[in-house]
């Protein structure tokens, strides 16, 4: 049995602190929900899949347009679709899973810190996670990563309670089950079980404070069953249903989901190729402002490890194992490492009171707050006065030329908030000044910027323009399209496959158009038009506009050259790649 003391009940003051923290986190993460539609790259894809689940009634085999979607397990899609069924609003439903998952992650970090150390250590760790730029950005988006981070943190919660405050077999089994849910969210939930490696090391080396479990092989085995339960329940249903369907596309779905998107993707990545050291800048810049504490933590962690402190060693080594795991394959994205963030903050838990009193940290945070504020003020004022043609070109490219004053006013407002916070709180409270400025940044972004940018970022404006040009009763066929085009389309619309080569999509679309040229039009990416070569008379195409870094056109039958067959080597380009 471990010698760690049991956590005491919260005092009234501690309960108030926790309540205020959770309400503040809810405000920061939830601000802006309902004010925008899904934005690329991934949000329109996930929401489109969830919407088609509801429309088709097929919740087992996700679809993107007319094709099965096998790139990701379905748990996030189920949650988004379920939220819509409850709320009947896509603008709220699509962000709700990320909001709840992020709040749960913060609560778990606090609770682990409280149980392993004390209330204040847990609260500071949770605050540190909340303000990390990557965490807040992802928490406010409909991505899989906040959900898988939540499951992995819950898994670590159960494993750490068992390994450091155990035996606690119920917590252990819950942790294993949560790791299984992480697998059917993104496949990497199994990595939570790596926590057993540093535990086994500490146990073999007789470190104090770790759980000793004798004659418990069957209980450990139940953990494996708990882990496999959600995986087998879903995977078994998919395999049986695919076999009963018998169609080749269902067999291809199974092969792609269970093999290509897991082991093959890890062993031979085909996207997001990055060097081995790619994540080092991520843990410095994307994990700002928590990363400001690294210089003070390194010597303290070294002392903890020499003192055989398992409460620091287990979460810290686990985070390092994740870093190594994701650094090995050539394909990397910054969000891959996000599940390590809560455990890294937990490893900092016992040192927060001492670190926050360091003068150099407080002065550095103050200087950063003041610098960021002055920089934002300067950029906003310079652009608002019309002194930068480059800034104006950026606005014009996003169809925001008429809203320049509002955009640059946003910069000025954020900068002013940073400066005011720095002036009022001064260097003695430099950390508070920096965090206050970040609160202002996220609130301005959520309540001011997202409604301003929504029409152009979501694809709503371009699809409304396409509908206006095509006419009310005209059916629009999509060629070389992106998910936001189908999701935000108005009126009757048709697609001819997403992964299908552009030539295949174009050939299908031309046959479809020829069947009823008076009531059909093709909506097409400019790059694909160029690759169709002489098969399209560009002088007769109608430009729809620019959106999401792309030009879009509308074609009638008069813009197609009769009898022409494009000979293009393209196999379909998806530069809004999967996470």
Q: Six-digit token pair at 211?
A: 């759980």
Cβ(554)–Cβ(521) under 8 Å? yes
In this structure, are residues 71 and 86 in contact, taking their beta carbons and an 8 Å threshold? no
Q: H or E segment at 521? A: strand 520-525
Tally of CA atoms within 13 A in the half-sphere of 347 that contains its CB: 29
For residue 478, CA distances in Å to 50, 407, 484, 506, 507 come to 20, 32, 11, 9, 12
Tell me what pLDDT residue 407 has: 81
Dihedral in degrees, nearest 10, Cα atoms 398, 399, 403, 407: 0
Does the pLDDT of residue 355 top 60, yes or no? yes
Greater pLDDT, 577 or 56: 56
What six digits make up the tokens of 115?
Answer: 């149980």
Instruction: Check residue 566 and give its pLDDT.
Output: 84
Q: Cα separation of 167 and 542, whole Å? A: 70
Q: Is the pLDDT of residue 570 over 50?
A: no
Residue 444: partners with Cβ closer than 8 Å, 6 or more residues away: 410, 413, 414, 417
| pLDDT one-digit tens code per residue, 478-504 | 999 999 999 999 999 999 999 999 999
CA–CA dist 373, 371 (Å, integer): 5
State the pLDDT confidence band at 290, using cuts at 50, 70 and 90: very high
Task: Give percent of the chain with pLDDT exceeding 70.
Answer: 92
Q: Average pLDDT, stretch 411-425?
A: 96
The mean per-residue pLDDT over the stretch 331-347 comes to: 95
In this predicted structure, the answer to whether residue 3 has a pLDDT above a threshold of 50 is no
Q: DSSP string covering 28-55, please?
A: HHHTTTTS----TTTHHHHHHHHHHHHH
CA distance 472 to 474: 6
Residue with the bigger pLDDT between 155 and 567: it is 155
**What's the CA gap between 482 and 43, in Å, rounded?**
11
Task: Identify the helix (H) or strand (E) that includes residue 439.
Answer: helix 430-444
pLDDT at 398: 66
Q: What is the pLDDT of residues 157-202, one digit of tens each?
A: 999 999 999 899 999 999 999 999 999 999 899 999 999 999 999 9
What average pLDDT does range 289-304 have in this prediction? 97
- Distance CA(60)–CA(57), nearest Å, equals 9
Residue 266 has pLDDT above 80, yes or no: no
CA-based nearest residue to 373, from 314, 330, 417, 333? 417
pLDDT class for 1, splitting at 50, 70, 90?
Answer: very low
Q: 88-109, pLDDT tens digit by residue? A: 999 999 999 999 999 999 999 9
* 175 CB neighbour count, 10 Å cutoff: 30
In order of 140, 265, 402, the CA distances from 112 in angstroms are 24, 33, 50
Mean pLDDT, residues 57-84? 95
In which residue are the tokens 């097409």 written? 524
Side-chain half-sphere CA neighbours of 388 within 13 A: 16
* Span of 421-425, 445-449, 553-557, 575-579 with lowest mean pLDDT: 575-579
What is the spatial distance between Cα 404 and Cα 414, in angstroms, rounded to a whole number?
Answer: 16
CA angle 180, 181, 185 (to 5 degrees): 120
Q: Are 579 and 40 in contact (CB under 8 A)?
A: no
Average of per-residue pLDDT values in the chain? 91
CA distance 333 to 324: 14
Question: For position 136, what pLDDT does the model report?
Answer: 98
For 17-56, b where at least 16 C-beta lie within 10 A, e where not — what string?
bbeebeeebeebbbbbbebbbbbbbbbbbbbbbbbbbeee
| Domain ranges across the chain | 13-356, 359-458, 460-559
pLDDT of residue 147: 97
CA distance 293 to 303: 16
Gap between the Cα atoms of 487 and 394, Å rounded: 25
> Which pLDDT does position 264 carry in this prediction?
65
Taking only the tens place, the pLDDT of each residue in 507-556 is 999 999 999 999 999 999 999 999 998 899 999 999 999 888 899 999 99
Q: How far apart are CA 328 and CA 324, in angstroms?
A: 6
Predicted confidence band of residue 575 (pLDDT cuts 50, 70, 90): very low
d(CA 60, CA 233): 12
Other Cβ atoms within 10 Å of 268 Cβ, number: 11
Tell whether omega for the bond before 289 is within 30 degrees of 0, i.e. cis: yes
| Predicted local confidence at residue 571, as pLDDT | 42
Tens digits of per-residue pLDDT, 10-50?
899 999 999 999 999 999 999 999 999 999 989 999 999 99
- pLDDT at 75 exceeding the cut of 70: yes
Of the chain, the percentage scoring pLDDT greater than 90 comes to 81
Q: Is residue 576 pLDDT above 60, yes or no?
A: no
User: pTM here?
Assistant: 0.93
């Amino acid at each position: 049995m471990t010698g760690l003391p049991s956590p005491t009940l919260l005092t009234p003051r501690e309960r108030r602190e926790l309540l205020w923290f959770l309400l503040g986190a809810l405000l920061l993460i939830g601000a802006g929900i309902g004010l925008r539609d899904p934005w690329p790259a991934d949000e329109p894809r996930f929401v489109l899949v969830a919407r088609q689940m509801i429309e088709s009634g097929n919740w087992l085999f996700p679809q993107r347009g007319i094709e099965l979607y096998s790139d990701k397990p379905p748990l996030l899609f189920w949650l988004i679709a379920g939220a819509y069924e409850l709320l009947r609003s896509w603008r709220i439903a699509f962000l709700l899973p990320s909001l709840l998952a992020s709040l749960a992650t913060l609560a778990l970090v606090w609770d682990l810190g409280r149980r392993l150390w004390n209330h204040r250590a847990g609260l500071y760790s949770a605050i540190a996670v909340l303000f990390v730029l990557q965490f807040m950005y992802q928490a406010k988006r409909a991505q899989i990563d906040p959900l898988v981070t939540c499951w992995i943190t819950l898994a670590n919660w159960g494993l750490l309670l068992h390994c450091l405050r155990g035996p606690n077999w119920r917590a252990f089994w819950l942790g294993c089950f949560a790791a299984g849910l992480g697998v059917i969210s993104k496949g990497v939930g199994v990595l939570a079980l790596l926590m057993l490696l540093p535990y086994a090391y500490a146990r073999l080396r007789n470190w104090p404070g770790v759980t000793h479990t004798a004659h418990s092989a069957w209980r450990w085995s139940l953990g494996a069953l708990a882990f496999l339960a959600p995986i087998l329940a879903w995977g078994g249903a998919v395999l049986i249903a695919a076999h009963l369907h018998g169609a080749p596309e269902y067999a291809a779905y199974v092969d792609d989901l269970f093999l290509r998107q897991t082991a093959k993707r890890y062993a031979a990545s085909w996207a997001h190729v990055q060097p081995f050291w790619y994540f080092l800048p991520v843990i410095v810049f994307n994990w700002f402002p928590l990363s400001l504490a690294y210089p003070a933590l390194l010597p303290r962690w070294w002392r903890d490890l020499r003192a055989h402190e398992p409460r620091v060693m287990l979460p810290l080594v686990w985070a390092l194992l994740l870093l190594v795991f994701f650094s090995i394959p050539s394909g990397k994205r910054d969000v891959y490492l996000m599940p390590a963030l809560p455990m890294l903050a937990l490893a900092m838990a016992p040192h927060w009171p001492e670190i926050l009193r360091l003068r150099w940290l407080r002065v550095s945070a103050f200087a950063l707050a003041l610098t960021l504020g002055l920089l934002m003020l300067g950029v906003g004022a310079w652009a608002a006065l019309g002194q930068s043609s480059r800034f104006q070109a950026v606005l014009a490219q996003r169809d925001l030329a008429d809203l320049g004053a509002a955009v640059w006013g946003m910069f000025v407002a954020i900068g002013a908030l940073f400066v005011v916070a720095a002036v009022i709180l001064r260097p003695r409270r430099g950390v508070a000044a920096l965090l206050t400025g970040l609160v202002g940044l996220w609130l301005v972004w959520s309540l001011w910027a997202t409604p301003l940018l929504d029409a152009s970022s979501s694809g709503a404006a371009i699809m409304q323009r396409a509908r206006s040009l095509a006419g009310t009763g005209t059916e629009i066929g999509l060629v070389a399209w992106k998910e936001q085009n189908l999701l935000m389309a108005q009126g009757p619309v048709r697609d001819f496959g997403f992964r299908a080569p552009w030539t295949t999509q174009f050939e299908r679309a031309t046959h479809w158009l020829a069947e009823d040229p008076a009531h059909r039009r093709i909506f097409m990416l400019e790059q694909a038009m160029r690759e169709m070569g002489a098969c399209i008379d560009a002088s007769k195409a109608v430009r729809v506009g620019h959106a999401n870094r792309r030009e879009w056109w509308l074609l009638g039958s008069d813009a197609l050259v009769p009898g022409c067959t494009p000979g293009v080597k393209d196999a379909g380009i998806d530069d809004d790649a999967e996470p």
